[in-house]
Structures are given as C-alpha cells and as structure tokens.
Structure 1
Amino acid sequence: MPNLAAQKLKHGRNSMIAVFTYENMFPVESRNEFYRFFVGIQEAAEKIGYDLLILNNRPTAANRSSRISLADGAVMIGINRDDNDILQLLKRKFPLVFVGRREAPGVQTHWVTFDYRSVIRQMISHISPACHEGLVYIEDVGFGREPRQDKRRYLYEIAAEKGLSVTSVYADELHTIPLEGMQLVFQKRVAVLDRLNQIVDFECQCKRAGLILGKDIIACVLEDDWEGGHADWTRWTDRRVELGSLAVEYLSLLLKGDPLENLPRLVALELVVAQSTCAVTNPAVSANT
C-alpha cells in the first residue's frame, strides 16, 4: 500500500480533502441535520475530482499522526468544536473551510453560510401586519455559536427598523418553553422560534390554551424543515446541499491559490409561507406550501 503522506510530500497534492466534525454524525443518516450538507460536499468533491477522507476523531495539526495530514485541506461541519485544535490548524495555515460562519481569535477564517439577513427581512415583512404589540422571540438557553448569533442579531435589527419590539423568552435544555413565556406569546399573538425542536412544546401549549396556530397565534421558525415534519410552519427553504457544495468550491479555490473575491460566501434562502402564519394579510409574499 503506498504511503500517502510520503506521496503528498513528494508531489504537493494528493487530490484528497477531509470532512471532519465533532458532532456524532457518522455514519450519516438522512434524518441527521447534517446529512444534506454532507451530500453537497460529496457531490462537489466528485465533480471537481477530490477523494474524501471522513474524520470524526480529534484531528489536530499538532498531532503529526493525525490522518488529517493526509488531506490537502478540509471542510468542517457542525456547531460543536474544539477551539484549541482548530486554532492550531489555522495557525499552521492548514486550508480549512467551515460550513457556517466561524471566527477564531487572531487568525483569518474561511467560511460559507446562508444569507440569513435577507430571508429574515422577508419573514419580518410578512408577519409585521400582525405585530400590533411586537413579537416574542423564543430561543434556546445558553450561548449560541456564530450562526445563531447572526440570526438573533438580524431579527432584532430588522424588527427595530420596522418599529417592532422584540421580547426574548428562553426555552430550557429540553426545549420546553416556560409558562410565563407562553403567556407573553398569548398576549402578543406573534412568535418567532429559534429552532425546530421547540415546535412540539409550543404547539402543545397553544392547544392546551385552546388557541389555533395560524389563526389565533401567528408563528414561524428560523430554520428550514430538515426533519421533513413541519410543512405547516412558515420557515425558509432547505439549501443545505448547495451550502455543502459551495464549501468545497471555496476550498478548491483556496488550494489553487485563486482569488476568492468573486466566489460568494452566501447561499440565498427563500421564505416558505405556510399554515402557521395564514392569518397574516400580506400580498407582497405569496404562499408556498
């Protein structure tokens, strides 16, 4: 069997890129939230001519025995991460592209992400006619990574531009929404959920209160329906395959030393209007169910 590390030293490239994560996602299943990112990575790698090395251990640049050294570069999927390991990779100029915005202190990072700002603007414009008393933002407790921070910031900024107040309510570690938080929702009648995993409890509490979602309560979620079970919720389109593909395209240019300015970092999203906001009167947004 050829020594791949030696071949790389001799020829400089071996046409192999790594996909690594600290998430428990391999083997990949279709109901995993990272599955469609991985599909996009596979498709783009095959199109460009890269072999894939899949890693879900702790690949570090400091550890010379790490299999990541066999790859020309890597794409990282997932939210969980070891910042010390990643910082070592970045300091050694290892070509690394993140799926989702990521920052690290003192070093440049390369990432691709969704155009959250534009689609959140569409969403707020859609529900704003119902926001007579502002809206409630339901988010998971704890500090979120950069994509969650971005969505929160855009929501608050765009609501402020439109003169809408936003009140945050925090779901617990089990994604259960406190009763006092739901009382605010019942009062204001409009809610934006941070995650799909908050939907079950939200719907149950509305039902117990005798309130109909989409009629008595207007609600939407800041995600796509990657689970495939929330077609009645206003959300945005699933473009995870496209984002995974863009990460590989970005890495390919990085490896070639080509200019990155002309390659977009953002994948566009479209608002999907569904039953959960059907009582809103807004002809500017057509219903897509």
Structure 2
Amino acid sequence: MKEFKRVTLQDVAKEAKVSYASVSAVLNGKDGKSIRVAQKTKELILECAARLGYVPNMAARKLKNGTNSLIAVFTYEQIFPVESENEYYRFFVGIQETAEKLGYDILILNNRPTEENSSRIVLADGAVMMGVNRDDKGIERLVKANYPLVFVGRREVSDVSTHWVTFDYQKVIAQMVDHLNDLCSARTLVYVESQEQEREPRKDKRRFLLEAAQSLGLEVLIVQADERNMLSLEAFGLIEQCKVVVFDRLFLLEPFERLLERKGLKLGSDIWGAVLEDDWMGSHEHWTRWSNQRLELGSLAVEYLSHLLQKETLEQLETLTPLYLVISESSAFPK
C-alpha cells in the first residue's frame, strides 16, 4: 500500500521553481533575517504551499530536537472530553497514559477536519479518533492519502478501509442474554432503542442481541423511545407482558424508572432488565450492565496506531477489548 506522503519544502520549491533556501526562509519565518526574498517570490511561494497543502512537520521538528513523536487525538464532538463527567473522558485518559508510556506527545483537536482545516490533523504523524459524530468525506480524504488513523470503536466509511479497535460486544451480550434467559418465562424480551443516529456500535449491539436470543429460542420485540427518551403506553404494555427488558443506552433508564414508579411496579421483582452499556455515570449500579473498560480501549487504540507508525504487521494485533458482565438488582433472580 502506498504510504502517506507529507508535502515537503522541496516539493514547494519545485512547484514554485525557486530555491529551497527561499522556500525555507519564507515558510520558516526567516525571511528578512538571514535571507531576503522578493515580495513577488514570497507571494508565489505562499500560493504554491497553500495549493499543495503544505503544513509544518511539527513531529519532525521535535524529533530533530531530540524529543518525542507527535500523535493527534481527534473528536468530532463540539467539546473535547476533558471533564470526568463526559462519556468519552476515560477513552481519552487511556489514550493519554499509553501515549506517554510509548513516548508520544499529543496534539488535541476537535470539530471536523474539512478541506479548509484538515491540515491541522496532519501536523501529527498519525491520529486516534473518538466519538460517533464524523465527516465521512474528511475521513475518506485522510485515508486515501494513507494517513495513519485509528478509530476508537468500529467505524466503516464507504470506499475506504478503516483501522479501528472496539469492545468485544458479542461475548458479553451473549453472557447477558444467557443470564436473562431464566427470567423469560414468556420466551420473549423487549429491546428498547433510543432515537440516536444509526451508527456501527448500535448496529453491532442489536445484531449480537438478536443472535444470542435466537440461539436460546427467545423472541426479541424491538421498540423505540421518543425524542424525550420516553416509552409509549403500547411499548410499556409489551414490557409488562414480557417482564424482561433490555435498553441500548444508559440515559433511557431514568425515564423508565419514573414510569415504573407511577405504575406501582418494582424493578427486579415485577420487571427485570439490563442495559447494553457500562455505568460510566456511576449512578446506575442497580442495573445489570457490563464493566467500564473505556480506559483500556483508548489504550489499545494508541498501541494499534503505534504499530501503524512503526510499519509493523497488524495480522496478530488485538482489536477487541474484553467486557465483563455485571449482574445487579435489576435482573436478580426472584426469590
């Protein structure tokens, strides 16, 4: 596969048909100091640099000074997850800790890399991307340029092959459904999805849930919460009949619990349930879920990126982070 090729000072000099020294003086801020460059030549150099997509190679400068390489950590979310309450925070902590351990400095970026500002991300040797929001055209440009890029979570982009690491959803969901199987006296459970955009994690969790249920002879009824994360009376009626419910996202739980309270029903005795997520908020310990391994997945993303940067083989490289089932009150067996 063709390697990512950064535009160099030599490329700009060749395009502008001027000397390397002139280009270096203009683009490295030395014009007027050790070297004088005519105004028209300076304008030509700047125009050629912009047209070719030249950006300063910050990582190379650091290496020249004897310091570490540089990787970018990028998210399409509006706010970078530096607060512990953010659901992406522990991913970032894992990325940060492992980058430091492997000797990389970090360039932090957020918002989408459009054609106008995509040069920011290639200041780094490679990048780790977090979050479900994305700009597929921007990603496609980077991938087609063979820029080393690893996603936290499975991400598929049309017409290009992406690198990603993700959770081992299949194994833990199979364990969860096996646990719920003994509670499904009606041989049916209800699966409640939010109104979020259809992305790979959502598709994967639904597929693995359906496969696990089918293997045990269970029927799955899929319903969707409304824009306020509330269930319709019809959907709640199905849950009352089946007695077992699984939610795809953590934020659906509190509205459901309020509805249970109004109906005079108790979670863990009248209705049993689980959620296909970890308790990253630390406020839903009474729900059956899986363990929080976000730090580990962020760490794995950097290890994978490091292999790309070192041009090491990826064949035996692990891409899945294990998850562990946490059984709690919401699905405790009836006494």
Aligned residue number for residue 284 of structure 1:
none
Aligned residue number for residue 269 of structure 2:
215
Q: Paired residue for 1:163, among 217, 221, 242? A: 217
Q: Paired residue for 2:135, among 70, 74, 82? A: 82
Is the 1:236–1:272 Cα contact (8 Å) retained in structure 2?
yes
SS in 1 for 2:182: helix
Q: Paired residue for 1:5, among 48, 52, 56? A: 56
AA of the residue aligned to 2:161: Q
Q: CA deviation at 1:141?
A: 2.6
Aligned residue number for residue 228 of structure 1:
282
Q: CA deviation at 1:58?
A: 2.6
**Does the C-alpha gap of structure 1 residues 80 and 210 become closer, same or farther in structure 2, counting only changes over 3 Å?**
same
Task: Report whether the alignment pairs 1:135 with 2:189.
Answer: yes
Give CA deviations for 1:93-123 in whole Å, capped at 9, x if unaligned: 1110000000111211100000000000010
Q: CA deviation at 1:25?
A: 3.1
Task: Report whether the alignment pairs 1:276 with 2:276.
Answer: no
Aligned residue number for residue 83 of structure 2:
29
Aligned mates of 1:39, 1:268 — CA distance in 2: 18
AA of the residue aligned to 1:214: G
Aligned mates of 1:211, 1:253 — CA distance in 2: 52
Aligned residue number for residue 251 of structure 2:
197
AA of the residue aligned to 2:156: E
Q: Paired residue for 2:146, among 93, 108, 119? A: 93
Report which stretch shifted further, 268-277 or 83-92.
Answer: 83-92
Q: CA deviation at 1:176?
A: 1.3
Report which stretch shifted further, 84-93 or 216-225.
Answer: 84-93
AA of the residue aligned to 1:109: T
Report which stretch shifted further, 49-58 or 228-237.
Answer: 49-58
Give CA deviations for 1:185-242 in whole Å, capped at 9, x if unaligned: 0111000001000001111111111111001101000000000000000000000000
Task: Report whether the alignment pairs 1:72 with 2:125.
Answer: yes
Is the 2:95–2:295 Cα contact (8 Å) retained in structure 1?
yes
AA of the residue aligned to 1:235: R
Task: Report whether the alignment pairs 1:110 with 2:163.
Answer: yes
Task: Report whether the alignment pairs 1:123 with 2:186.
Answer: no
SS in 2 for 1:177: coil
Aligned mates of 2:160, 2:81 — CA distance in 1: 32
Gaps of 5+ in 2: 1-27, 30-54
SS in 1 for 2:246: strand
Aligned mates of 1:96, 1:25 — CA distance in 2: 21
Give CA deviations for 1:50-83 in whole Å, capped at 9, x if unaligned: 00000013325x4477211210000000001111
SS in 1 for 2:79: coil
Larger radius of gyration: 2
**Does the C-alpha gap of structure 1 residues 246 and 166 become closer, same or farther in structure 2, counting only changes over 3 Å?**
same
With the length of structure 1 as denominator, give the TM-score of the two structures.
0.91
Task: Report whether the alignment pairs 1:151 with 2:151.
Answer: no
**Does the C-alpha gap of structure 1 residues 143 and 56 become closer, same or farther in structure 2, counting only changes over 3 Å?**
closer
Is the 1:127–1:280 Cα contact (8 Å) retained in structure 2?
no
Q: Which has the higher contact order (CA 8 A, sep 6+)?
A: 1
AA of the residue aligned to 2:91: F
Q: CA deviation at 1:8?
A: 5.0
SS in 2 for 1:66: helix
**Does the C-alpha gap of structure 1 residues 65 and 124 become closer, same or farther in structure 2, counting only changes over 3 Å?**
closer
For these two proteins, the number of residue pairs brought into alignment is: 280
AA of the residue aligned to 2:148: P
Aligned residue number for residue 286 of structure 1:
none
Q: CA deviation at 1:39?
A: 0.1
Among the aligned pairs, what percent are the same residue? 56
Aligned residue number for residue 95 of structure 2:
41
Aligned mates of 2:170, 2:58 — CA distance in 1: 44
AA of the residue aligned to 1:262: Q
Aligned mates of 1:175, 1:227 — CA distance in 2: 17
Report which stretch shifted further, 240-249 or 23-32.
Answer: 23-32
Q: CA deviation at 1:14?
A: 6.5
Give CA deviations for 1:117-141 in whole Å, capped at 9, x if unaligned: 0000010000101112200000013
